[in-house]
Structure 1
Amino acid sequence: MTTHDPTTGSAMSRAGLRFWSAVLAVAVFLVDVLTPLEGAVAVLYVVAILLAAKTSRRNDIIVAAAGCVVLTITAYLLSHDLESIASPALRALVSLAAIGITTLLALQNHAATTHLAAQARLLNLSHDMIFARNRGGVITFWNKTAEQAYGWSADEALGQLADKLLQTTYPDRRETIETDLLDTGRWEGRVQQRTKDGATLTVDARWALQHDRLGKPVGVLETHTDVTDRVAAHNALVRSEQRYRRMFDASRIGVIEEDWSELRAALQSLETEGAGLRDHLAQHPDFVRRARRLARITDVNPALQKMAGANGASPFIENVDLLLGENDRSFLGALIAFAEGEPFYEGETELVRLDGRKVPVLFTITFPPGPDGDRNVLAFVVDITERKQAQDALLAAQAELAHAARVATLGELSASIAHEVNQPLAAIVTSGEAGLRWLRRDVPDLKEVAATIVHVVAEGRRASEVVARVRTFLKKAPAQQDSLDIAEIIQEAALLVARELANDDVALTVETEHGLRPIRGDRIQLQQVLVNLLVNAGQAMSDQRGSRTITLRAGAVDGERLAITVQDSGPGIRPDDMPRLFDPFFTTKRDGMGMGLAICRTTVEAHGGQLSVESTPGAGATFRLTLPYSPEYARP
C-alpha cells in the first residue's frame, strides 16, 4: 500500500494510454482482416483493454472493451460469411470470451483499487501518524500526517526499515513486544522516535497485526499519536508538584491546605431572607460554627505541626476544630471574604496547641480562582509570640518613659504646684487664726467660729485635691480603659499648668462645646498629652514680646469623633522641622529630651485617634488631636 492514489494519474498519461490502446486495437483489427492468419488473433484485444485499464478510469475500460468487441465482430464479418459456422466462428467466440473475461477482471480490479484508494485517503485525513510495514519491518504505507510529523515524504519512507528510519526506543525488549503482538494481535505502548531533523518525539503507539486469507501474519499497521507536548506538560506539572511539596515541607511558615467545597455549597444554599450576608452571619453564630467544621483540613506542613506541638498531620485532618478556640472570631471575617469572592483574607488570632497552650499568630488565607480553587485553599500561619513579647516589652519601656516624662513635667510645674498647695494652706492658717480670735472674745461668737471651721475644712479638701491630682498624675500603673468626660480632663490639665503659664504671662482660654459625649481611654495618659501640648505652647512663646495666648478648644467633628485643638500665638514651627517633629529624640529645646511629642502621638494612636500639627511661621502653631467616642455612647 502506498500513499499514491491510483485513480489520479496525470491527464497526459491517461491520454497516452488511451491513444496506445486504440492504436493496438486497430493494429489487431488490421492483422485479423488483412492477413491470412487462422489463429485467434482477436484475443490480442485484451492487451488493448489492459492498457485502457491503466488509466484507472472505469469508463475507459468499458469503452475499450466495447470497441474491441465491435472490431472483433467486424473483422469476422469482413473475413467470413455467415452461411457456415466453422472454426473461424469458434475463434471469434473465444476472442469475445477473452475480451469479456478481461473486461470483468479489469473492472473488479478497478473497484478494488478504488476502494483501497478511498481507504488510503481516509488514512491520510487522520491526525495520527499511520504507516504499515511487513513482517520484516519494511514500510509499505506512509500517510500524510507521518510525512508532516516525521519529515520524510512517502517516496523517502517506503521500502525503509521503520525502526532504523525512526530510531525507535521501546519501553521493553523488542523481542518481548513482538511476541505480545503475535499472541494478542495488538500492542500498545509509549515509544520515542526521531524525526528527519533530529527532534525527539514521544508517541503513544498502537499496533494491529494484519493477516492474509489463510490467517497468516503478513504485516503490521502502526498508529502513532504525538504526545510530546502532553508528556512535557505532565513532567512540568510533576516538577511543579515536587517543587511545591519541597516548599510546603521546608517552609518555616506554617501552611495548612484545606478543602472549602462543602462550605461553598452550604453558603449557596443559605437563605438570608433579604438581609446582607454579614448581618445574617452575625445573627446566626451557630451557622458559623457549623461552617468552620466544613472547612476540611487536607494537609499540614511540618512547621505548623511543630507550632501546634503535633507529630503529624493526622490530628488536624481528623479534627478541624483543633487549631482554633471556641471563642475565635477570625473565621467569620474569612468566611465573609470567601463568600464575597475576595482573593485572600488576613487576620490575627490565637492557635491552640495540643497541650492547650495558646500561640498568637498572624495568618493569611488565599482563595485560588477556578473550579478547583475551593479544594486548594491555603492558610499561611506565622508565630508572633516573640513579636508579642517584644511589643509588651516596648509598651513597658514606653510606660516607663512616659512616667519619667510626667515626673519631668511636674518638675517644671513645681512652682505652680507649690503655689496651688500654698494657697489653701494659707487660707487654712488665716481661717484658723480668725477662729481663735472669735473664741477668745469675752463672749465667743460660735456662729463665726463655725463658719471659720467650714472654711478650714473646704481649704483642707482643696489642698488634698491638689496633692491627689499630682499623685495621680505621677502614678505608675497600667493603662486603663474607662469612660471619660473630656471636659473634666481638660479642666484638670488646665489646673496643672495654670501657674506655670501665669508665670510666663501666657493667657489660657478654654472653649469646650457643651454636651460632648464620653470617650474611652486612660485618664492619666490623656492628661499627660494635654499638659505636654500646653507646656510646649507656653515655652514656645517664652522669648516672645507682646501678647501670649493659648486657646484650647474641644468640639464634635462628626457622629463618631471629637477634636481637641491647642493653638498658640507664638513664632510657629520651622518648615524644616515639621517632618521630624514627632520623631523620638528630636527636639528644638536646648535642654529637651525629644520624647514629649513622640509619646503624645503614640498615646493618641493607642486610643484610636490621630495627632497632627499645622503651623504658619510667625503666626503660631495648632496641634489637633481627634479621639473616637466611646462605643456605648455612639449615635444610633
Structure 2
Amino acid sequence: MPEHLELDFEKCREEADRYRLLAEQSTDMISRHAATSDWTYIDVNPAVERVLGYSVEEIIGAKGYDLFHPEDADNLLKRAETVRYRRGMYTNTYRYRHKDGHYIWLETTSRTIRDSHGDPVEIICVSRDVTEREMAQQAIRRLARVVEASSDMIMFCNHESMQLTYMNESAYRTLGTEKENPVVFYLDQIFEEHIFSTLVQDALSHAAEHGIWYGSVPLKMPANHHRIAEIREVIAHRNRTENMKVEYYSIIGRDITLKRKAEEQAKRQQLEMAHMSRLLSVGEMATGLAHEINQPLAAILNYCRGSLRRLEEGSSEENFAQISHSMQLITRQAKRAADIVKRMRSFVKRTDYQRIEFSVNESCVDVAGFLNQEAVDHNISFQFELDPTEPRLLADKIQIEQVLLNLVRNAIEAYSECKKTKRPVTISTKHANGYIDISVKDEGNGISKEGLDTLFEPFVTSKSTGLGMGLAISQTIIETHGGQLWAESDGSSGTQFHFKVPVRAN
C-alpha cells in the first residue's frame, strides 16, 4: 500500500476510534438499526444499560419495534403530533418498554442512511430518557385542564401592564363574552374605578409583599348581565431566576349569584320565622295585653260618665274645671291605649331586615313595659342594671327587641313552678371591647345540665304550650348580627341568659 494511502487509512481509523469513544462515553443512547419494519438492533453504545436496562449483548439482534408501546409504535408512519421533521432528521417522543417491564419516555432523533442509489441501508438513532420531563408536562397539561374546567374564574395578570394575559372559560363567561371571540381585558376594566384604586390596589400590594392575598372584592358586571361575582384570591409570582421581582399575578374569582340568591332566600325564611315567632308570642300574651288595654279604656269610660254627670248638673265654674280636668285625663288614657296598640302592631308587623341606630337601654325598658301586665299577674318585679354610657347599637331594632322579649318572657315563666315570694327579673346592659352585652336573669329553679344542652334546639320545649322555636330563632337572629347567645344556670337557683352583638353589626 502506498505510504500516503496508509496515512489516510490511519487517520480515518483514528477518527473512527474517537467517534467510537464519544459514542461509548455519551449519556445518550446511540443505536444503529436495520432499515426494516422491525427496527432490529445492529449496534448500540453502553448507555443502553442505563436507559433500558439491557446489556449491549442482550439488545443487539432484538427487534426494536416490539419494544414500542402499542399506541406509539406507528408514530412515524402516522406523522403523529409527537413527531417533528427537520433537515432529513425525525424527532419522535414515545413510550418504550424497559427491561423491567415498565414503560419509559424516550425522545429519539433518527436519520436514515442510504446508498448511492438512494436505498435505505440502516437507521442511526440518538435517544434520551425524557420520562421526568414528560411526567412534568403531563402534570401541567392535567392542571391546565382542571384550570380550564374550573367553575372558579382564573386569570393571569401582567404585573406591569395590568393586562389579563389568560382567562379560563368561567372567567370569559362571567364577564359576558366568549373564549372563541377573545377580548383583551385590563384589570381596571373589571372593577368600579373607586374599588380598583383602593381595594384592588391594596390586594395587589399585599400579594406582592406576602405572596398571597385573601378577601372579597366585587367585580363590575356588564350591563344587563344579572350576575354577581367577586375576587377571592390574588397570588404573586416572582422571577426567581433573575431579580425576584413580581412578574404576574394569578387572580381567582367566583360567580356567587346562586350563593347570594340562596342567602337572600334563607334571610327571607328567617324573617318569616321571626315574624311567626312574634305572632305566637303575642298570642300567648293575649290575655295580659287585653287586660292592659282594658285599664285605660275603663278609665276613659269612668271619666266620660263623670263628665256627663257634671254637664247634667248644669254649668258652673267648678263643674267646668272638673270637666276640663276629666278631658285631660281621658286624653292621657286614650294616648296610653293607643301606645299599647301601636307597640303591639309594630312588634307583629312583617318587616324586612332594617338596620337602624337605637338605644339598647331604651329597648330594654320598652320590652319590660310591653310585658308589664304579665309580670304583675305573676307577682314579678323588673330590675335594671343599665350601662350609664347609654350605648347605641346599629342593628335591626325589631329583631333585637324580639330576642329580648323572648328572654324576658322565659324569665317570667321560670317562676311558674317556683314558690318564692320574691321574684325579680334583672335586665342588664354593658358596653365593652366593641360589643354590647345584654343579660336577663331570674331566680327561679334553674335549668339542669341536660336542659342546657338542648336549650337552643328547634321544637324542644318544657312548656305545655308553644312550638319550642323561640330560643332557636333568637339564636339565629343574634348570630346573623355577628353575635352570640348563651345561657348559664346551676340548675337550682336561677338562670341567666346572655347575648352580645358588635356595636357596628354587619
TM-score range, shorter chain: 0.7 to 0.9
Give aligned pairs, total.
479
Give the conservation status (yes or no) of the 8 Å contact 1:413–1:496.
Answer: no
Question: Which residue is 2:92 aligned to?
Answer: 190
Q: What runs of 5+ residues in structure 2 fail to find an aligned partner?
A: 78-84, 240-245
Q: Does 1:143 align with 2:48?
A: no
Identical residues among aligned pairs (%): 18
Question: Which residue is 1:536 aligned to?
Answer: 410
Question: Which residue is 2:181 aligned to?
Answer: 314
- Looking at structure 2, the residues matched to 107 and 297 of structure 1 have their Cα atoms a distance apart, in angstroms, of 65
Question: Which residue is 1:299 aligned to?
Answer: 168
- Looking at structure 2, the residues matched to 331 and 397 of structure 1 have their Cα atoms a distance apart, in angstroms, of 38
1:407-486 counterparts in 2 under 5 A?
Answer: 407-418=282-293, 420-422=295-297, 425=300, 428=303, 432=307, 444=318, 454-486=328-360
Q: 1:435 to 1:495 in 2, by over 3 A?
A: farther
- The residue matched to 2:279 in structure 1 has which SS? helix
Question: Which residue is 2:370 aligned to?
Answer: 496
Q: Does 1:204 align with 2:79?
A: no
Q: 1:599 to 1:162 in 2, by over 3 A?
A: closer
1:271-303 residue CA offsets vs partner (Å, 9 max, x unmatched):
xxxxxxxxxxxxxxxxxxxxxx6455523249x
- The residue matched to 1:608 in structure 2 has which SS? coil
- Looking at structure 2, the residues matched to 484 and 560 of structure 1 have their Cα atoms a distance apart, in angstroms, of 16
Question: Which residue is 1:508 aligned to?
Answer: 382
- Looking at structure 2, the residues matched to 490 and 562 of structure 1 have their Cα atoms a distance apart, in angstroms, of 13
1:3-62 residue CA offsets vs partner (Å, 9 max, x unmatched):
xxxxxxxxxxxxxxxxxxxxxxxxxxxxxxxxxxxxxxxxxxxxxxxxxxxxxxxxxxxx
Distance apart, 1:532 and its partner CA: 2.1
Q: 1:533 to 1:340 in 2, by over 3 A?
A: farther
1:198-231 residue CA offsets vs partner (Å, 9 max, x unmatched):
77663423559799xxxxx999894522235157
1:193-592 counterparts in 2 under 5 A?
Answer: 202-207=106-111, 222=124, 224-229=126-131, 232-233=134-135, 236-237=138-139, 240=142, 243-244=145-146, 248=149, 254-262=151-159, 265=160, 294-295=163-164, 298-301=167-170, 305=173, 310=177, 314=181, 317-318=184-185, 335=204, 338-339=207-208, 341=210, 345=214, 347=216, 349=218, 352=221, 354=222, 356-361=224-229, 364-365=232-233, 367=235, 374=248, 376-384=250-258, 386-388=261-263, 390-418=265-293, 420-422=295-297, 425=300, 428=303, 432=307, 444=318, 454-592=328-466
1:555-596 residue CA offsets vs partner (Å, 9 max, x unmatched):
334141221111101111122222221222221100122122
Picking from 79, 102, 125, the partner of 2:25 is 125
- Looking at structure 2, the residues matched to 450 and 166 of structure 1 have their Cα atoms a distance apart, in angstroms, of 118
- Looking at CA atoms only, which structure, 1 or 2, has the larger radius of gyration? 1
Matched to 2:277, the amino acid is A
Matched to 1:299, the amino acid is N
Q: What runs of 5+ residues in structure 1 fail to find an aligned partner?
A: 1-100, 174-180, 212-216, 267-292
- The residue matched to 1:600 in structure 2 has which SS? helix
What's the TM-score once normalised by structure 1's chain length? 0.60
Q: 1:381 to 1:446 in 2, by over 3 A?
A: closer
Give the conservation status (yes or no) of the 8 Å contact 1:207–1:221.
Answer: yes
What's the TM-score once normalised by structure 2's chain length? 0.73
More strand by share: 2
Distance apart, 1:396 and its partner CA: 4.6
Q: What CA RMSD, in Å, does the superposition of the two structures yield over aligned residues?
A: 5.1
Give the conservation status (yes or no) of the 8 Å contact 1:170–1:191.
Answer: no
Question: Relative contact order (alpha carbons < 8 A, sep ≥ 6): 1 or 2 greater?
Answer: 2
- Looking at structure 1, the residues matched to 192 and 413 of structure 2 have their Cα atoms a distance apart, in angstroms, of 53
Matched to 1:552, the amino acid is T
Distance apart, 1:113 and its partner CA: 7.1
1:165-195 residue CA offsets vs partner (Å, 9 max, x unmatched):
989967557xxxxxxx9xx8x6443387776
Distance apart, 1:501 and its partner CA: 1.2
Q: 1:377 to 1:595 in 2, by over 3 A?
A: same
Give the conservation status (yes or no) of the 8 Å contact 1:569–1:621.
Answer: yes
More helix by share: 1
Give the conservation status (yes or no) of the 8 Å contact 1:256–1:380.
Answer: yes
1:63-78 counterparts in 2 under 5 A?
Answer: none
Matched to 1:628, the amino acid is P
Matched to 2:109, the amino acid is A
